[in-house]
Amino acid sequence: MIIALIGNQNSGKTTVFNQMTGRNQKVGNFPGVTVSKKDAPLRGHPEFTVVDLPGIYSLSPYSAEEVVTRDFLIDEKPDVILSVIDTTQIERSLYLCIQLIEMNIPMVIALNMMDEMRLQGSHVHIEELTERLGVPLVPISASKNEGISELIDETVRVAKAGQKPAKLDLCSGPAHRAIHAIMSLTEERASAAGLSSRYAATKLAERDPLIQERLNLNLNELEAIEQIIVLMEEELLTDNLAALANMRYCFIDEVVSAGIHKGSGENLLTQRLDRVLTNRFAAIPIFILLMALVFWVAFGLPGSWLADQLTSGMGWLTGRIDSSLTAAGLNIVLHSLIVDGVLAGVGSVLSFLPLIALLYLMLSILEDSGYMARVAFVMDSWMRRLGISGAAIVPLIMGFGCSVPAIMATRTLPSKRDRRLTNYMIPFMSCSAKVPIYGAIAAVFFPDHAGLVIALLYLLGIYLAVLLGLGLRQRPDSSKAAPFIMELPTYRFPSFLSVSRNLWQKIRDFLRRAFTIILAVTVIIWFLSHFNRNLNFVSSSDDSLLAWLGSAIAPVFNPLGLNDWRIPAALISGFTAKEAVISTLAVMSGATVETLGPTLAALFTTPSAIAFLVYVLIYTPCAAAVTAARNEFGNWRDTWIMIIFQLLAAWAVAFIAYGLALLWGISSAATISIIAAMLLLPLVLNYRAQRIQPV
């Protein structure tokens, strides 16, 4: 049996899914977290499957999420709908609920966030709401696991009993007459199509082309329906969509007035904070200061100290294993594989785990509090200057975590053009896999300003994405960006469980890559760097098969100051996973975890290190991200264009960075000056932007 989990964006739907199934899907105080449907068995009831559908606001097929959800309800015919409502925003949530009730499918409503309702001094009359809606209601607080057992029991009961909504006729006035007139004309066709006659009539009154096609209406029927709609519009002096929306909200007002007693503490904290955090002049500086704090914690003194401790521990462990293998007289080839290959390669990546953990911890706290949604709001006017929908900011922000889910999230954008442009821009957002590379190079060449340098790289990526957007905006196929509607969630104290779950997911993914992809790449690189073309073991990697391959492409990187053949070889390994770049350099150089710093200092000069960092920032993402882009583009042509563009752009920008570094020299003062200049430019641009007030 199938449970369809449906609700508005940011209503806590995915948290309910996790509580009901025991899964750990990503959750956050941020709209649009779920971009495709997910399913899992119901906890304690393996015969039930819970399907988590993307967050939507209506069943009108205007967005990809609405199409996915509506097609699932009509084609898959779930046994029960579980509608999750944010009780603090019940008027908006009930608009979707009414449309679901009209489908005449067994249904349960979960009144989520009851804890916040209590804090606001509000009270919900469950019996009154149940009577007026004709659907069972269960009060819950998913983040605190309150009421979940009762919700599971009620959902299972309704599904097994096939208990359909007790009331379907929730309309009144001229709209009521129009819907019932259409029902009398189309009842048989709706039944044949497997649809509720009430739902079909309402959608026909909305002039929904998909329902018209599904019912296979003839010309006479379409003309009769059109006459009914026109009469309704003339009587109400408005268009059909406004008439139906007004009908629904009139009913919702009656329900809320009878069933909800609202307290006086409604969202006062959110309103006060938003006066500052979304202020025209203060929003951008506050965002920059918060990001500076994040980078200082992750890459400054706290993160560096933790990384040093782990590096020392890895060095001690490597030394003990090395001594034990030497004492045991292990074969020299196998000894080299374990110490110079596995331990050096994987260990060099694992030593940066504290930096990544702290970075994700800080970002998870900001997201769970509701602040990241404000970032999207503040950046919306900027996105429109690039000619794309403000909704693109959501996948772009996700790109700072991982390019793969960010690219997948572009499928929710309203137009093919927006999706294509956003996919081109996402790789410029530095994903977490590049953090070990940034951290290793910055710690060696900029030990006193590592956090600032890494922040500069993130900013450079954003600026390059902006330049790309401005360039592609002038294309002949450019059109006006689609409208962007976004909910600003209330501020909440970050949930320890939610933050911990998100942090563990990121650490687990990092460790999985370290002990699968990176381990495999490390072994391959070790083999190529320790055997020559005749497959003889060599004592120096300069005589190896990898040296021969790296030397063949090294001339391409010579203008960037990257003269050593090991550097392009490491960049090639980055196509599998970006973390593999550092492990590859360690294996090819014969460095241990503790000697990685001096090894990098011998491979690079300061200008060439800057060129290397810039190239890593821009060049083609990992194979998984390329595959995700291929799936979203739908063809290899656009994918190859993206890959070639990124390789050329990376080389060109790295060449410019190398030239500037040679020309000016890189001192701490120059670095800080460049960062200050880059921080001031957004303030100047933002000063001229029109302020958009949240609704």
Give the H/E segment covering residue 4. strand 2-7
Count Cβ atoms below 10 Å from residue 1 Cβ, excluding itself: 14
* In-domain check, residue 277: no
Residue 447 token pair: 């030990």
Residue 195: CATH number of its domain: 1.10.287.1770
Residues with Cβ within 8 Å of 191's Cβ and at least 6 positions away in sequence, in order, are: 197
pLDDT above 70 covers what percent of the chain?
A: 85
Closest CA to 56 of 40, 78, 72: 72
- Does pLDDT of 683 surpass 50? no
* In-domain check, residue 695: no
Q: Report the first-to-last Cα separation within the chain, whole angstroms.
A: 40
Residue 497 and residue 606 share a domain: yes
Residues 253-262 have pLDDT tens digits of 888 888 887 7
Residues 285-338 have pLDDT tens digits of 888 788 778 877 877 777 778 877 887 887 788 888 888 888 888 877 788 778
* Domain final residue, candidates 130, 161, 192: 161
Residues with Cβ within 8 Å of 379's Cβ and at least 6 positions away in sequence, in order, are: 390, 393
pLDDT at 355: 77
301-327 and 353-369 helices, crossing angle to 10°: 140
* In-domain check, residue 332: yes
Give the H/E segment covering residue 70. helix 64-71
* In-domain check, residue 328: yes
Q: Which ranges of 72-208 would DSSP assign to H, the alpha helix?
A: 90-102, 114-119, 126-133, 148-161, 173-192, 197-205
Residue 619 and residue 503 share a domain: yes
- Does pLDDT of 64 surpass 80? no
Q: How far apart are CA 238 and CA 205, in angstroms?
A: 13
Domain carrying residue 90:
2-161
Give the H/E segment covering residue 226. helix 219-236
Residue 416 and residue 308 share a domain: yes
Q: How far apart are CA 319 and CA 664, in angstroms?
A: 42
* In-domain check, residue 308: yes
Q: How far apart are CA 37 and CA 34, in angstroms?
A: 7
Identity at 385, one-letter amino acid code: R
Average pLDDT over residues 615-634: 83
Average pLDDT over residues 642-651: 89
* In-domain check, residue 129: yes
pLDDT at 87: 86
Count Cβ atoms below 10 Å from residue 492 Cβ, excluding itself: 16
pLDDT at 687: 43
More confident residue, 147 or 315: 147
Query: Percent helix, strand, coil in the chain (nearest 5)?
Result: 70, 5, 25
Residue 189 token pair: 């066709």
Residue 27 token pair: 């959750």
Residue 152: CATH number of its domain: 3.40.50.300
Provide the number of structural domains found in the chain.
3
* In-domain check, residue 135: yes
Q: How far apart are CA 151 and CA 48, in angstroms?
A: 14
* In-domain check, residue 89: yes
Q: How far apart are CA 486 and CA 278, in angstroms?
A: 14
Q: How far apart are CA 216 and CA 219, in angstroms?
A: 10
The CA angle 167-169-175, to the nearest 5 degrees, is 160
pLDDT at 389: 65
* Domain final residue, candidates 92, 127, 161: 161
Residue 545 and residue 679 share a domain: yes
Residue 181 and residue 54 share a domain: no
Residue 408 and residue 374 share a domain: yes
Residue 220 and residue 138 share a domain: no
Residue 312 and residue 237 share a domain: no
Residue 483 and residue 461 share a domain: yes
* Domain final residue, candidates 128, 161, 194: 161
Residue 653 token pair: 């920008």
Q: To the nearest whole number, what is the mean pLDDT of the chain? A: 79
Q: How far apart are CA 339 and CA 335, in angstroms?
A: 6
- Does pLDDT of 555 surpass 70? yes
Residue 212 and residue 76 share a domain: no
Task: Give long-range contacts, CB 8 A cutoff, 24+ apart: 680-684.
Answer: 682/284, 682/288, 683/284, 683/285
> Hey, which bits of 8-44 come out as E strands?
38-42
Confidence of residue 61 (pLDDT cuts 50, 70, 90): low
Residue 543 and residue 394 share a domain: yes
**Cα 398 to Cα 14, 173, 364, 438, distances in angstroms:** 17, 46, 12, 19
283-299 and 301-327 helices, crossing angle to 10°: 30
Residue 664 and residue 533 share a domain: yes
126-133 and 240-259 helices, crossing angle to 10°: 150
pLDDT at 357: 82
